[in-house]
């Protein structure tokens, strides 16, 4: 306690220099925490987005992730309903699993015959009620940006397309898409021609495609897909909405439809299949335990199966790459701030040693050992680190609250959807404690060399110093 009291008094003797050092420490801590809070928000926003669209875990054929893009329908799960029921009724997963839902992904060709345009697309069949429930998950309290799920309570032949698909297929006017550029080409006469007989026959094969030509003013497309044996199939779909899919690459190809409609289109009258079973959890931290149990259930229900359980990180490599990038930048900033703190505190302590050389000689002459001198100066560095770190945390919390109250947005690279700009400092206790400890350690170590030099001073030379 005596050393602590003396160290505090010594720091207060030169308030201006001590204040400048504290401000350097506080600014450093604030900068690290603000960027760390921004990085945390990026992490949670991406995680929430992926969990909304694909769940925490997915059960797939073991080769679907690597080879499914070439022929997704060849990797469909036969009898997936038995597996879903087993997961939903499992006692070990009770209270941990929120949603278990199948989906079907396939490649196809979407065309707006009236406008004479078409493009390759990725069809995605979902159970609308399950997806709507998945969108409600918000473990990390992300400000809501999702619109109500358009396919919920929609007809079986309804579809939702990405805004990029609507633009290419010239559906923007009918769907009411704002700020949608139009190509400088000669427009066809209103109404267009009827579907060719062969395509119309294919579209009429399936009950969901029946019903004739959509009524005037309705956006309609024909979706062509290839069945597992190579035969083509076509469905006429009524496009009820165009939604931004978040990433431009996906927005340019996404056609979302009801799962039953997708299964009829791809498998015809054969037994329906699903390319994945999405599993959404209540808490992300339960992923390893639930994944292990899902593998056990899959082996019990389908012995010798070729199924794999993948988490959202494996399914979305962009997530891991982004987090690693921000972690690297955060580490670089911390090292940079740490270097500034190191030299600032060291310079302050060196100046204190020069000013108090005579005092050092005096206390050494009356019996204080070298270890006592070192301990005194190191304690001063420690106190500077503690006060500066605490001050930096307080300033970071205040600035984060101010920034969050402005309701700012930002556009991530590769994304077409602005996201809320949030600085997550409050609640990130691990980051706060880690930053404080790191800066305190650096400040304490910064004082060690000046303390060593002070302890090594000759008593006689120190007493002669004027």
Q: For residue range 363-381, what is the model confidence (pLDDT) as tens digits?
A: 778 777 877 778 888 888 8
Which range among 1-15, 51-65, 194-208, 396-410 shows the weakest confidence by mean pLDDT? 194-208
* pLDDT(361) > 60: yes
Domain ranges of the chain: 2-47+320-464, 63-305
Alpha-carbon gap, residue 9 to 4, rounded angstroms: 9
The pair phi, psi for residue 299, each rounded to 5°, is -70, -35
Alpha-carbon gap, residue 302 to 102, rounded angstroms: 16
The reported pLDDT for the residue numbered 449 is 85
Alpha-carbon gap, residue 57 to 298, rounded angstroms: 13
Q: Are strands 232-243 and 158-162 parallel, antiparallel or unpaired?
A: parallel
pLDDT in tens, 420-442: 888 999 989 999 999 999 999 99
Q: What is the pTM of this model?
A: 0.82
pLDDT in tens, 280-334: 999 999 999 999 999 999 999 988 778 999 999 999 998 899 899 999 999 999 9
Q: How far apart are the first and last CA of the chain?
A: 30
pLDDT in tens, 55-106: 999 999 988 888 876 677 778 898 899 999 999 999 999 889 999 999 999 9
Alpha-carbon gap, residue 47 to 323, rounded angstroms: 10
* pLDDT(261) > 50: yes
Q: Which residues contact 332 (CB under 8 A, 6 or more apart)?
A: none
């Amino acid at each position: 306690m005596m050393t602590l009291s003396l160290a505090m008094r010594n720091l207060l003797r030169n308030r201006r220099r001590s204040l400048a050092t504290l401000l350097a420490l506080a600014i450093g801590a604030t900068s690290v925490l603000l960027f760390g809070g921004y990085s945390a928000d990026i992490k949670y926003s991406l995680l929430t987005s992926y969990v909304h669209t694909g769940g925490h875990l997915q059960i797939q054929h073991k080769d679907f992730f690597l080879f499914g893009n070439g022929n997704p329908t060849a990797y469909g799960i036969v009898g997936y309903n038995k597996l879903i029921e087993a997961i939903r009724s499992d006692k070990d997963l009770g209270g941990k699993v929120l949603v278990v839902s199948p989906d079907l992904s396939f490649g196809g060709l979407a065309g707006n015959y009236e406008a004479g345009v078409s493009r390759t697309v990725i069809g995605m069949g979902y159970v609308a009620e399950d997806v709507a429930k998945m969108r409600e998950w918000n473990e990390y309290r992300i400000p809501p940006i999702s619109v109500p799920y358009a396919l919920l309570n929609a007809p079986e032949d309804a579809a939702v397309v990405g805004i990029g698909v609507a633009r290419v297929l010239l559906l923007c006017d009918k769907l009411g898409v704002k700020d949608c550029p139009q190509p400088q080409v000669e427009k066809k006469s209103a109404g267009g021609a009827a579907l060719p007989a062969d395509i119309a026959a294919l579209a009429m094969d399936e009950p969901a495609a029946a019903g004739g030509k959509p009524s005037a003013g309705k956006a309609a497309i024909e979706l062509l897909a290839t069945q597992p044996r190579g035969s083509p199939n076509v469905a006429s779909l009524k496009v009820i909405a165009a939604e931004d899919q978040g990433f431009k690459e996906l927005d340019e190809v996404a056609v979302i439809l009801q799962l039953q409609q997708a299964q009829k289109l791809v498998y015809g009258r054969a037994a329906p299949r699903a390319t994945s079973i999405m599993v959404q959890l209540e808490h992300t931290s339960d992923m390893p335990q639930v994944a292990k149990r899902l593998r056990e259930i899959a082996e019990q229900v389908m012995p010798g199966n070729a199924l794999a359980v993948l988490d959202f990180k494996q399914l979305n490599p962009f997530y891991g790459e982004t987090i690693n990038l921000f972690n690297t930048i955060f580490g670089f900033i911390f090292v940079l701030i740490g270097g500034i703190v190191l030299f600032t505190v060291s310079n302050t302590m060196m100046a204190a040693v020069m000013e108090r050389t005579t005092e050092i000689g005096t206390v050494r002459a009356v019996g204080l050992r070298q270890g006592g001198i070192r301990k005194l100066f190191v304690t001063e560095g420690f106190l500077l680190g503690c006060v500066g770190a605490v001050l930096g945390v307080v300033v970071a919390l205040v600035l984060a609250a101010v920034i969050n109250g402005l309701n700012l947005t930002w556009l991530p690279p590769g994304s077409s959807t602005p996201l809320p700009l949030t600085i997550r400092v409050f609640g990130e206790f691990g980051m706060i404690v880690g930053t404080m400890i790191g800066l305190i350690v650096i400040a304490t170590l910064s004082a060690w060399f000046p303390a060593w030099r002070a302890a090594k001073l000759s008593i006689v030379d120190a007493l002669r110093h004027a």
